A and B are shown apart, each in its own frame.
Chain A
Amino acid sequence: MLTFIIRRILALIPLLFIVSVIVFGLILLVPGDAAITLAGGDAATRPRILLVRHQLGLDKPFLSQYVSWLGNALHLDFGRSLYSNQTVVSEVWQRFPVTLQIAGGALFFGLLIGVPLGIISGIRPRSVTDRAVVIGTSAAIAMPSFWLALILVLNLAVYRQILPSRGFVQFSTSPYEWFRHLLLPWISLGVLAAATIARQLRGALADVMSSDHIRTSRSKGLAPIKVVGKHGLKNASAPVLTVVGLQVAYLIGGTVIVEQIFGIAGLGTYVLTAITRDDLPAIQGSVMFIALLTVFVNLLVDISYALLNPKVRVE
């Protein structure tokens, strides 16, 4: 098991290398002379342009720029934001917990709703309940999260005023207010996660339930809860885990929009602001951070595969 994990981690190195090349290459996408654009375009003063050019190392050849950037990145140094003059890492680290709470809560919501729906649907395919779940999840998948967020805000926050429409309260300040402020973001992002998880679990479980070893479990006289809960779910969990891993990446991306709608200053807002202001170090740093996060989650998914399926450990 340990060698399996080590091998998986080693396999990440080339992947992260490619990601770093792409992230650094973003600088090539800045239109015209990057230093002029980044210094403020036409309004930029000559000393400011020179400063930006030197600060970003744009006066050096591309390859050596990359090497020194990568060298710094390995020490978790992505430079300073062109605007706030704080280090990118400290800014990202400051914003990340909020985003983590939104995405994590949405994922929890997705599992809370998606897993039971997937189970009741998967153990009786083509039943009335199953058809209702299939129709409901299709609708949920077709619903864009920003649209759902706006509808929820309009109905629950603006008209009925049951929940706040904007803002964020720290858990340490007031758990109740924290929950009230995050509930709508969680639902807007989590509905799609729930629908996707339910659909995947439904398919996987329906497959497993018609397999020979489930018949064996029933022939042993096991109660249905044991047949489904132990033998069914463990065998159906691998495809669901894959989807959960993909959902994490999606949820982090989704926070960009949801943070805007609910006026929450998280990582999503940070990236968006950085992009609109051409704050290149901030973009590179946060994109690299999100990439690392995604890769880390997928590593966790791989490891849980191995824990759930003894054959993976051998291969």
Chain B
Amino acid sequence: MTDVTPPGDPAPLLSVTDLSVGFKGHTETVTVVDHVSFSLRAGETLGIVGESGSGKTVSSLALLGLLPASARVTGSAKFDGRELVGMPPRKLRDVRGNDISVIFQEPMTSLDPAFTVGNQLSEAYRNHRGGSRRKALDRAAEMLRLVGIPEPQRRLGEYPHSFSGGMRQRVMIAMALICSPKLLIADEPTTALDVTIQSQILELLKSLQAELGMAMIFVTHDLGVVASVCDAVSVMYAGQVIEESPIDEFFSHPLHPYSAGLLDSMPQSVAKGERLRMIAGTVPPPSRFPVGCRFHPRCKYVVEACTTTPPELDSVEGDRKVRCIRHAELTLEVAK
């Protein structure tokens, strides 16, 4: 578990323990998320960071049962005293969009093109709160104003195709927040947007979080985003959490060679004119995760033992965790 829940504090809002997700294939089940644990308190933001294929999106969507039918989810995810894993679909629907909302990576395709924005927003509201169409539309207009869409009353009657990508993501945020959820899962919400729009959306999410007091899980591969939004970070590699840390310590001295590699490959960490650095190789597909430490084929600090013994997630420095047998002996420096 991350430090987001310091000892002595009240129970966390969400506490995920040993969450595993497998996909049933033709011959065998492929495990893409392997015993992932994290937790966060009300009002706080956890970043889940990793490359494509690390399992970060799958683990966050698994919480709400939004994965395809072939997915097998095990482990535990306690939210506000309720167990989400294995919850009956009917009960889970009461949680979705009401207590926990999601915004997705693709604003261009995430809204239904055949219904007006007003219809989709009020539908989300009435689904959980009931009430008249009129009242739901008023609430929808209020939400559009909140996310910074001008002339909300008029835009309610428009279809998604007359909104730009950034505006559509604002609509998605309005829709996700219309029932005032306690937790918002943002799955790479800015990846598909222009850089200028990205920072607008990030600022919007930050200010809304402060205003509404909700917790956020921010799934991203962008450490710059993590630095500006998150309180804590959980780094995933090949379906496992390999490091958990409060944000400041993580950026000043990462504990895992992979985290260090990620920080090192940020464009900000090289001088002008210098070549961008990168971690050689790619994340292996789930069917071919290496034996021992899953990162060892790409690791600069690999020793014999790394290729045979799968490392445990060890607690260090009180509130940090790392999955590396050499973490005590390595001093990882990140260029500033």
Give A contacts to B, CB under 8 Å: 124, 211-213, 215-223, 226, 230-231, 234-235, 308-311, 314
The answer, yes or no, to whether B114 is at the interface (CB within 8 Å) is yes
- The 10 A-B pairs of least Cβ separation, nearest first, read A221-B96, A220-B97, A221-B97, A212-B109, A310-B159, A213-B112, A221-B93, A220-B124, A219-B102, A234-B114
6 pairs of residues in contact across A and B, judged by CB atoms under 8 Å: A216-B104, A222-B93, A222-B127, A230-B115, A308-B114, A311-B161
- Greatest chain B CB density within 10 A among A219, A226, A308, A309 is at A219
- Greatest chain A CB density within 10 A among B94, B98, B159 is at B159
Q: Is the CB–CB distance between A215 and B66 below 8 Å?
A: yes
A220-B124, A231-B115 known; A211 vs B64 contact (CB < 8 Å): no
Complex Cα spacing A189 to B170, Å: 50
Which residues on the B side are within 8 Å of A124 (C-beta)?
Answer: 69
Which residues on the B side are within 8 Å of A311 (C-beta)?
Answer: 113, 159, 161
Complex Cα spacing A215 to B114, Å: 15
The answer, yes or no, to whether B206 is at the interface (CB within 8 Å) is no
Q: Is the CB–CB distance between A211 and B109 below 8 Å?
A: yes
Which residues on the B side are within 8 Å of A221 (C-beta)?
Answer: 93-98, 124, 127-128
Complex Cα spacing A77 to B58, Å: 69
The answer, yes or no, to whether B111 is at the interface (CB within 8 Å) is yes
Complex Cα spacing A186 to B104, Å: 48
B158 smallest CB distance to A (angstroms)? 9
A201 smallest CB distance to B (angstroms)? 16
- Greatest chain B CB density within 10 A among A217, A226, A314 is at A217
Q: Is the CB–CB distance between A231 and B112 below 8 Å?
A: yes
Which residues on the B side are within 8 Å of A230 (C-beta)?
Answer: 115
Complex Cα spacing A215 to B123, Å: 15
B53 smallest CB distance to A (angstroms)? 19
A211-B109, A213-B109 known; A223 vs B93 contact (CB < 8 Å): yes
Q: Is the CB–CB distance between B111 and A213 below 8 Å?
A: yes
A71 smallest CB distance to B (angstroms)? 45
Which residues on the A side are within 8 Å of B102 (C-beta)?
Answer: 219
Q: Is the CB–CB distance between B115 and A234 below 8 Å?
A: yes
Which residues on the B side are within 8 Å of A211 (C-beta)?
Answer: 109
- Other than the given A213-B112, A221-B96, A235-B113, 19 more pairs (CB < 8 A) read A212-B104, A212-B106, A212-B110, A213-B109, A213-B111, A216-B111, A216-B112, A216-B172, A216-B175, A218-B66, A219-B96, A219-B104, A220-B123, A222-B93, A222-B97, A226-B127, A308-B114, A311-B159, A314-B161
Which residues on the A side are within 8 Å of B113 (C-beta)?
Answer: 213, 235, 309-311
A174 smallest CB distance to B (angstroms)? 44
A212-B104, A213-B109, A310-B159 known; A219 vs B66 contact (CB < 8 Å): yes
Complex Cα spacing A212 to B109, Å: 6
The answer, yes or no, to whether B190 is at the interface (CB within 8 Å) is no
The answer, yes or no, to whether B37 is at the interface (CB within 8 Å) is no
A215-B66, A215-B104, A310-B159 known; A220 vs B175 contact (CB < 8 Å): yes
Q: Is the CB–CB distance between B112 and A217 below 8 Å?
A: yes
Complex Cα spacing A161 to B104, Å: 61
A220-B123, A220-B124, A220-B127 known; A310 vs B161 contact (CB < 8 Å): yes
Give B contacts to A, CB under 8 Å: 64, 66, 69, 93-98, 101-102, 104, 106, 109-116, 123-124, 127-128, 159, 161, 172, 175
Which residues on the B side are within 8 Å of A212 (C-beta)?
Answer: 104, 106, 109-110
Complex Cα spacing A308 to B159, Å: 12
Q: Closest chain A residue to B67 by CB distance?
A: A215
Which residues on the A side are within 8 Å of B123 (C-beta)?
Answer: 220, 222
B304 smallest CB distance to A (angstroms)? 45
A213-B109, A311-B161 known; A219 vs B114 contact (CB < 8 Å): no
Complex Cα spacing A68 to B144, Å: 63
A307 smallest CB distance to B (angstroms)? 10
B157 smallest CB distance to A (angstroms)? 11
Complex Cα spacing A220 to B115, Å: 15
Q: Is the CB–CB distance between A220 and B96 below 8 Å?
A: yes
Complex Cα spacing A308 to B110, Å: 18
- Greatest chain A CB density within 10 A among B69, B115, B116 is at B115
Q: Is the CB–CB distance between A219 and B106 below 8 Å?
A: no
Which residues on the B side are within 8 Å of A231 (C-beta)?
Answer: 112, 114-115
A122 smallest CB distance to B (angstroms)? 14
A221-B94, A221-B96, A222-B123 known; A215 vs B128 contact (CB < 8 Å): no
Complex Cα spacing A314 to B161, Å: 10
Which residues on the A side are within 8 Å of B172 (C-beta)?
Answer: 216
Which residues on the A side are within 8 Å of B111 (C-beta)?
Answer: 213, 216
Which residues on the B side are within 8 Å of A213 (C-beta)?
Answer: 109-113
Which residues on the A side are within 8 Å of B64 (C-beta)?
Answer: 219
Q: Closest chain B residue to A308 by CB distance?
A: B114
Which residues on the B side are within 8 Å of A235 (C-beta)?
Answer: 112-114
Complex Cα spacing A73 to B192, Å: 58
Complex Cα spacing A144 to B115, Å: 40
Complex Cα spacing A230 to B122, Å: 14
Complex Cα spacing A221 to B128, Å: 8
Q: Is the CB–CB distance between A219 and B101 below 8 Å?
A: yes
- Greatest chain A CB density within 10 A among B106, B110, B112, B175 is at B112
Complex Cα spacing A217 to B114, Å: 13
Which residues on the A side are within 8 Å of B112 (C-beta)?
Answer: 213, 216-217, 231, 235
- Greatest chain A CB density within 10 A among B110, B111, B159 is at B110
Which residues on the A side are within 8 Å of B116 (C-beta)?
Answer: 310
Complex Cα spacing A219 to B104, Å: 10
B105 smallest CB distance to A (angstroms)? 9
The answer, among B96, B98, B109, B115, for a CB contact under 8 Å with A218, is: B96
Which residues on the A side are within 8 Å of B161 (C-beta)?
Answer: 310-311, 314
Q: Closest chain A residue to B93 by CB distance?
A: A221
Q: Closest chain B residue to A215 by CB distance?
A: B66
